[in-house]
Structure 1
Amino acid sequence: MREIKILAVVVVLTLITYWGVEPFAHSQMHPHVDPANYDFAQADKVSAKEQVDEKKEALEKAEAQAKATGNEKLTHIPKSEYNEAVKFEKTINDFWASNKEALSLTGNATNGATLVQANCTACHSIKKEGFPPVMDDASSAAAYGVVPPDLSTAGKLYSKEYLVGFIKEPTLASKVSHKFVDGRVHPMPSYSWMQPQEIADMVAYLQSIAPDKMTDKEVFQNACQRCHGIKYGDMLGGTMAAHTPETNIKAYMGKVPPDLSQYIRSRGAQYLHEFINDPQKHLESTAMPRVGLTKDSEEKVISYLEKVGDSKKAQREELGPKFLIYLVIFAIFAWLWKASKWRDVH
């Protein structure tokens, strides 16, 4: 009977830890954020409003404290941050609203080919169309801070909404406008001077040359490898070095982007979905841009990271129930054995 009581105590404490303490600790270390949202205009509207509300609350607290202490200086920084949040909310909402006309238009891929080749191939390669890189990776990184992507797959990786937004104003579409201030310029220029029809034509061309299908690995290589490497290789062996040299990417991003070999294990699929969709949700003011992947492309990136960093997941999950059944059977036999040996003693 004593063993049953001890077992009950252990089970209760384990359940409290698993269902109470651990989730609480996780919520403190990783506060809840909104799930991945691929409607970027709506997502930015919500996040901008949340920022305004947060800064307003901080300002109200500062004003109350200033009133109590008579120190008006306490409100200077909160007031400035609140005004900036209000200003940005208007900027981002106006930006996405200005893209609606281009999104509503049917693009002309033929005209778009002319526009893309005239405006983009000075920096970007389009290998599928016979436009090789203008420079090697090291030279491109030295010139731009990061290696520009090849555009052959852009129409597959990114939604029309994101492509229109990025062509028009890359800092706002990728949510890194906070990084390019005080005269610092994004390597991708703004094409806000273009007519909506011209932007729609460019997007139509990029979509027309995009492949119908891409493997998980191909999506990762095209979407992530410019900055991130894979040190430990995938199931088939081999590693991936980031295209942009560490010296250049550190200067451009502020730090060297992490190797992603084991990120599926250390962060988990849900975190990665939220982070890739909008890095600002988890790391406010991070230099990591919103990549702008479609839901399908993002799922392929996660799938590839699982193949690299958690290739035994299916086998592990299949073994789990079997192991628990074994433990239960073993515990029963152990208790019966102990009871038979100690029966006479008691």
Structure 2
Amino acid sequence: MRELKILAVVVALTLITYWGVEPFAHSQMHPHVEAANYKFDKADEETSKDAVKKAEEALVKAEKSTNKKDIDAAKADIASLKEFEKTSNEFWASNKEAENLVGNVANGETLVTSNCTACHSIEAKGFPAVMDNASSAAAYGVVPPDLGTVGKLYTKEYLVAFIKNPPMASKVSHKFVDGKVHPMPNFDWLQPQEIADSVAYLKDIAPKEMTNKEVFINACQRCHSIKYADMKNGTMAAFTPSDDIKKYMGKVPPDLSQMIRSRGHEYLETFINDPQKHLPGTAMPRVGLTEEAQAQVISYLEEVGDSKKAQREELGPKFLIYLVIFAIFGFLWKASKWRDVH
């Protein structure tokens, strides 16, 4: 009976640690953020509103302290955030006309090939990169993406927004101030129909299916490397050289080889969808991927960084069953040997 009591205590402590202490510690180290939202206009509306609310709470706290410097700073933050909230909401509202129009693919081809191929490649349509990666990175700060797959990776809404104003669409407008400009200029001078036509062309030329690796390469490898890829593929270096990406981003983006293990699926899902939720002010842009494309990126990171996950999960229940059987035999053996002593 004593052994059963000890077992009960061990099980109770284990469950308390697993279901109580560990989740609490995780919540302190990784504060909860809202789930990924792929309706970027609604997502930005919500995050802007939350930012204003937090600033107003900070003002109340500052007023209680009666520190004039803190009060003035809090008021300035509220004014700035309210102005940005207005700008953001107006930006997304201004995109609706182009989003609702039916694009003309033929006219879109003319617009894209005349306006975009000076910087971007479209390998699938016979438009190679104008410069090699090193030269492109030196010129723009980061290697421009090939446009042959963007119609698959991004929604029409996001493409419209990005064409009109890349910093606003990707949530890095805070980075391009005091004369700093985004490497891609705004194309908000285009008529809504022209933007719709351009997006229609990009959607038309996009592949119908892409592998997880292809999605990762097109969505992430311009900035991120994978040093520990599988033996067949070898190392996957970032297309943009480290010195250039460091100047552009402020630091070298992390290698993603083990990111799935160090951060986990849930963190990556919310971070890729909107890095600002976890790291306010970060230079990493919102990638803008569709839910399907983002799932493929995370799946590829699992393939590379946690390739034994399925085997490990399959082994877990078998190991627990073994422990239970071993414990039963151990208890019966002990009872048989010590029966006379007790």
TM bucket by the smaller chain? over 0.9
1:258 aligns with 2:274: no
In structure 1, what is the Cα distance between the partners aligned to 2:106 and 2:171? 31
2:80 matched residue in structure 1? 84
2:3 matched residue in structure 1? 3
Q: How does 1:279-298 map to 2 (within 5 A)?
A: 279-298=275-294
Q: RMSD between aligned alpha carbons?
A: 1.0
1:16 matched residue in structure 2? 16
Query: Matched residues, percent identical?
Result: 73
1:230 aligns with 2:226: yes
What is the CA distance between 1:105 and its match in structure 2?
Answer: 0.4
In structure 2, what is the Cα distance between the partners aligned to 1:89 and 1:334? 66
SS of the equivalent of 1:240 reads coil
2:57 matched residue in structure 1? 57
SS of the equivalent of 2:288 reads coil
1:172 aligns with 2:179: no
What is the CA distance between 1:345 and its match in structure 2?
Answer: 2.6
What is the CA distance between 1:88 and its match in structure 2?
Answer: 0.8
SS of the equivalent of 1:178 reads helix
Q: How does 1:1-346 map to 2 (within 5 A)?
A: 1-66=1-66, 71-234=67-230, 236-346=232-342
What is the CA distance between 1:56 and its match in structure 2?
Answer: 0.7
What is the CA distance between 1:93 and its match in structure 2?
Answer: 0.5
What is the CA distance between 1:150 and its match in structure 2?
Answer: 0.5
SS of the equivalent of 1:321 reads helix
5+ residue gaps in structure 2?
Answer: none
- 1:41-74 deviations in whole A, cap 9, x for unaligned? 01111111110101110011111211xxxx4222
Aligned partner letter, 2:53: D
In structure 2, what is the Cα distance between the partners aligned to 1:154 and 1:235? 29
Aligned partner letter, 1:140: S
Q: 1:35 to 1:235 in 2, by over 3 A?
A: farther
Work out whether residues 235 and 308 of structure 1, in 8 Å CA contact, stay in contact via their aligned partners in 2: no
Aligned partner letter, 1:3: E
Task: Give the structure-2-normalised TM-score.
Answer: 0.98
In structure 1, what is the Cα distance between the partners aligned to 2:299 and 2:256? 13
Deviates more, 1:302-311 or 1:166-175: 302-311
- 1:17-37 deviations in whole A, cap 9, x for unaligned? 101011111111111111111
Aligned partner letter, 1:2: R
Aligned partner letter, 1:193: W
In structure 2, what is the Cα distance between the partners aligned to 1:211 and 1:320? 39
